[in-house]
Structure 1
């Protein structure tokens, strides 16, 4: 064990400094492939944000869909316990029929 009066090794005392100040480093990063710079809509939405933007969807309806179909629906992502939705991908999945049959057995 190291005595209290000993200095730390040189590598631990020096911090790594960026050659550019932090704000310029962020602004010089190219994020053009992530989203259109003109839109302010977030890439991922919570269930409540999605339902506010898409009036045909309800929180209960989406939760029922997730309960019966699981989370393997296009545009649905998990971030820990939080559910996030890619609006365009989720709506496209609905249009392609990924949610055409939600639950229940066959009616005889």
Structure 2
């Protein structure tokens, strides 16, 4: 019985520690027309991000729409609008944390 209890506890600990990396769409509309909106969620643009604690990002700017992964620190992303100068918006970046969440819904 003690072995069974130990096995159950070990299995629960492994289940808690095991984290799957998030899958995000990665593309830029200037390079691939399918990346723009409306977005039809092409499977070949969905990739597994290298950082297990990362986030998906959708960035709208004057250069187009970019969908990508970011690290757990979120260093390269800002949520909301980023003003510059006299109220000009440089880009809008949305961060989310579920597989494929950086599709056109956000």
Under a length normalisation based on structure 1, what TM-score does the superposition of the two structures give?
Answer: 0.19
Structure possessing the higher radius of gyration over alpha carbons? 1
Under a length normalisation based on structure 2, what TM-score does the superposition of the two structures give?
Answer: 0.19
Q: Larger helix proportion, structure 1 or 2?
A: 1
Q: Larger strand proportion, structure 1 or 2?
A: 2
